[in-house]
């Protein structure tokens, strides 16, 4: 590979399994084995439109699934266009009429709510133009935040919208990109799902994918192909890769119906800027929260401990603790909507069990129920973008798009 | 139950299953069923010292396991003394000579590093006085932080130290307190373990407990009895409740040996105050990090996304992103040790795959490897309390007490 920023004493070789290896060349001889061929250029698969088939729009926004290795550095950069990716997965054309375009090139760690609003608008355009389903090629890092944001923004969805990513880049033999895409397309064409979901590997093998709820999904592993998990609910569906079988697992999900296709899709893509997500930890100083009080924050999601707690009491050793409570009390008094979620991630917040949390509830902090912290953050940001503080507070405890289950099935949701 | 802060129109009854129920009494008749007996007072079990048995010290610091229901409010408050709890679990006396005392009464959400230092000193005292094992009765909320702190503080441990908690308070029929305690005592007496661990339920049933590494354990569910999980490693051991069988699961754990019993236990209980744990999220403002730069923070653990990332690039839509990177760059330049962990929790940080993380590494941000964010925070706080910034940075990437595995076994560590 061309020399990048690495060790100047080494040459970097790309192995057939996709990994790079650095070899010190000092004192070594380099000989020509054989001349390589010209690198084949992938050309777009111009399948003719089949009116018997449904139409799926694929929108690429960035991430590994739309990436290839940068041979300058050996790292992975966003590069593939949607057309190239479609051409690389010919099975797609057998499932549906495919149309695709690159709407932005943003790595998922760089995604912001302005991007989410743009993605939602583009999805709406595709649906208005007749798409029977939409696939969004997205980086996996913040995919859970994006899918939650889209779940709230895209109201009265008449068709399914699936975010699809890859944990291995598309030019590696072990890439999960093609299978995730194929399963997503099959699910959009073969199910009655009409909501926002995430379709990714369900196991370490290439045997099935899972479709997770757009709100309840979370990336739970840095690198595994089955990194995405449904938190506190069952996945919506399981899709076999070989046999194409769709098995619906979740009981409650947004379904297609005649009413919806008649109703015009509504787009509510505003978010309040002054909302933050803050993690509580032992030894935290109250002043760290001062920024939010001083800058008129409208919403704050606290990632507390256990059932929804944070330091409240004042004792001789830990006199600063009382002040964290004081800052939160002042924030609430100033009209900031403060929501308590749990860093446990699984399970639900219950602020009625322990005295500490009861104190917090008394000053106006509201529990996030079974919404994990990142979901609670996106919901609060969206609510405050579209409703008054009072209404937002009320709706925080209502189930709007499947994000808040009235009861957690303890036995089934956590392995 | 006596009337508390609840609805004045209701009376609250405690049911035999331990739950409370509120009943509106307006227009209802209340009759006497029968007169209740006097509440039995539990007295300490004064088992005589048996020189053939090992001795276990039980130190109570607070939490649900040392709590009972406050009949004023119906909530749970810290109340039981260690003696009362020992008396309530007579099996303990069959396993070992038990001595116990209450060293503090702090709910786990109120725990700070001053408390951890005090607990470590008390554990050291018990070991010096001849204890063959120590059990710490601790609240579950921040138990993972405490067990990590104790793992670093207690060096050359000659015996095992187990933190034991309960997810259900001890006066409820469904309490897990007794079984967790019994399994912990059996493990301390019957194994060669000489490190810090956490002993809690291994399943929803009362069939077995798991002993987790003190550093790799994390509370992963708000309420389930099997809420504690080993992150990226196998649990150390499984202890059957009925049969008392101890099955060692982990390959590498600190063991008892003659060398250790000769060596005097070392206590390194200093922590740097100016260390924080900050979560990265889409839409975050750089100014939120300003506090750490302005106040001379010595360490910062960033809970980034995926393999260890955060916004770095600057584009037209998201001009603020570049500034988060700038604040971090300035912090590092000012001598702050900045560590990148992942909000995925499972898996390991790898800053060599994507261009964004490579940029961070270039400015001096170091990856946390397979240490989850809370562990990385405790380790950094401890390192900076005992070493210079440069040494701390170096040791952050070394395995000191089993907290950093050189390689994650992808297939086995995550369900």
| Residue A154 three-state SS | strand
pLDDT at A44: 41
- pLDDT tens for each residue of A144-170: 999 999 999 999 999 999 999 988 766
pLDDT at B371: 98
- Residue B117 phi/psi, 5° resolution? -60, -40
| Residue B246 three-state SS | strand
pLDDT at B73: 46
pLDDT at B356: 75
Domains of chain B plus CATH, in order, are: 55-267 (3.40.50.1170), 275-396 (3.40.50.40)
Give contacts of A327 with chain B, Cβ < 8 Å. none
Name the stretches of chain B with pLDDT < 70: 1-8, 12, 14-20, 35-48, 64-86, 169-174, 262, 313-322, 408-415
pLDDT at A208: 97
| Residue A349, min C-alpha distance to chain B (Å) | 7
Among partner residues B291, B309, B321, which is closest to A287 by beta-carbon distance? Answer: B291
Task: Provide the b/e sequence for B305-336 (b: ≥16 CB within 10 Å).
Answer: bbbbbbbbeebebbebbebbbbbbbebbeeeb
The tokens describing A340, both together, are 């308590």
Task: Provide the b/e sequence for A54-68 (b: ≥16 CB within 10 Å).
Answer: bbbbbbbbbbbbbbb
The tokens describing A14, both together, are 């790309």
A40: confidence class by pLDDT, cuts 50, 70, 90: very low
Q: Minimal Cα distance from B272: which residue of A?
A: A283
A10: confidence class by pLDDT, cuts 50, 70, 90: confident
Nearest CA to A272 among A312, A301, A235?
Answer: A301
Helix axes A113-128, A143-153, angle to 10 degrees: 50
Among partner residues A141, A358, A381, which is closest to B305 by beta-carbon distance? Answer: A141
* ipTM of model: 0.86
The answer to whether B107 contacts A278, with C-beta atoms less than 8 Å apart, is no
A34: confidence class by pLDDT, cuts 50, 70, 90: confident
The answer to whether B282 contacts A347, with C-beta atoms less than 8 Å apart, is no
Specify the length of chain A in residues. 415
Give contacts of B276 with chain A, Cβ < 8 Å. 281, 284-285, 288
pLDDT at A410: 55
The answer to whether B107 contacts A318, with C-beta atoms less than 8 Å apart, is no
Nearest CA to B200 among B117, B149, B139?
Answer: B139
Three-class SS of B196-225: EEEEEECCCCCCEEEEEECCCEEECECCCC
- Residue A230 phi/psi, 5° resolution? -85, 125
Task: Give how far Cα B63 sits from Cα of A268, A376, B158, B166, Å.
Answer: 44, 27, 27, 8
The answer to whether A167 and A176 are in contact (CB under 8 A) is yes
**d(Cα B169, Cα B171) in Å, to the nearest integer?**
6
Among partner residues A108, A219, A279, which is closest to B277 by beta-carbon distance? Answer: A279
Is A141 a residue of the active site? Answer: yes
The answer to whether B115 contacts A350, with C-beta atoms less than 8 Å apart, is no
The answer to whether B112 contacts A283, with C-beta atoms less than 8 Å apart, is yes
The answer to whether A318 contacts B290, with C-beta atoms less than 8 Å apart, is no
DSSP state of B172: S
The tokens describing B286, both together, are 């750089």
- pLDDT tens for each residue of A123-147: 999 999 999 999 999 999 999 999 9
Would you call B299 exposed, middle or buried from its count of C-beta atoms within 10 A (0-12, 13-18, 19+)? buried
Among partner residues B142, B291, B355, which is closest to A282 by beta-carbon distance? Answer: B142
> Which of B145, B222, B301 should we substitute to test contact with A (largest number of A Cβ atoms within 10 Å)?
B222
Task: Select the more confidently predicted residue: B83 or A228.
Answer: A228
């Amino acid at each position: 590979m061309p020399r990048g920023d690495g060790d100047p004493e080494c040459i970097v070789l790309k192995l057939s399994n996709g990994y790079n290896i650095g070899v010190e060349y000092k004192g070594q001889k380099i000989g020509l084995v054989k001349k390589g061929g010209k690198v084949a250029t992938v050309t777009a698969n111009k399948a003719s439109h089949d009116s018997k088939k449904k139409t799926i729009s694929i929108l690429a926004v960035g991430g590994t699934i739309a990436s290839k290795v940068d041979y300058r550095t050996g790292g992975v950069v966003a590069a593939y266009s949607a057309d190239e990716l479609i051409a690389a997965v010919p099975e797609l054309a057998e499932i549906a009429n495919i149309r695709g375009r690159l709407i932005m090139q943003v790595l998922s760690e760089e995604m912001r709510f302005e991007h989410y609003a743009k993605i939602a608008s583009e999805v709406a355009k595709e649906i208005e133009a007749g798409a029977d389903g939409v696939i969004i090629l997205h980086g996996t890092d913040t995919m859970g935040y994006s899918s939650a944001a889209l779940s709230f923004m895209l109201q009265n969805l008449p068709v399914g919208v699936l975010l699809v990513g890859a944990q291995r880049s598309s030019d590696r033999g072990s890439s999960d990109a093609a299978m995730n895409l194929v399963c997503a397309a099959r699910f959009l064409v073969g199910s009655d799902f009409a909501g926002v979901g995430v379709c990714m590997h369900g196991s370490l093998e290439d045997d099935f994918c899972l479709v997770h709820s757009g709100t309840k999904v979370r990336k739970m592993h840095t690198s595994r192909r089955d990194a995405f998990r449904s938190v506190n609910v069952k996945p919506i569906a399981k899709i076999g890769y070989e046999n194409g079988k769709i098995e619906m697992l979740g009981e409650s999900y947004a379904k297609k119906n005649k009413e919806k296709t008649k109703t015009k899709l509504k787009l509510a893509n505003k978010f309040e800027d002054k909302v933050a997500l803050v993690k509580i930890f032992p030894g935290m100083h109250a002043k760290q929260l001062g920024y939010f009080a001083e800058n008129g924050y409208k919403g704050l999601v606290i990632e507390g401990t256990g059932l929804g707690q944070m330091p409240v009491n004042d004792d001789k050793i830990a006199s600063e603790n009382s002040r964290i409570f004081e800052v939160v009390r002042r924030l609430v008094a100033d009209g900031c909507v403060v929501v308590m979620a749990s860093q446990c991630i699984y399970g639900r917040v219950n602020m009625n069990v322990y005295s500490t949390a009861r104190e917090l509830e008394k000053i106006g902090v509201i529990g996030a129920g079974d919404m994990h912290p990142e979901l609670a953050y996106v919901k609060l940001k969206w609510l405050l973008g579209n409703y008054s503080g009072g209404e937002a507070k009320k709706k925080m405890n209502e189930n709007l798009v499947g994000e808040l289950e009235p009861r957690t099935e303890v036995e089934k949701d956590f392995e």
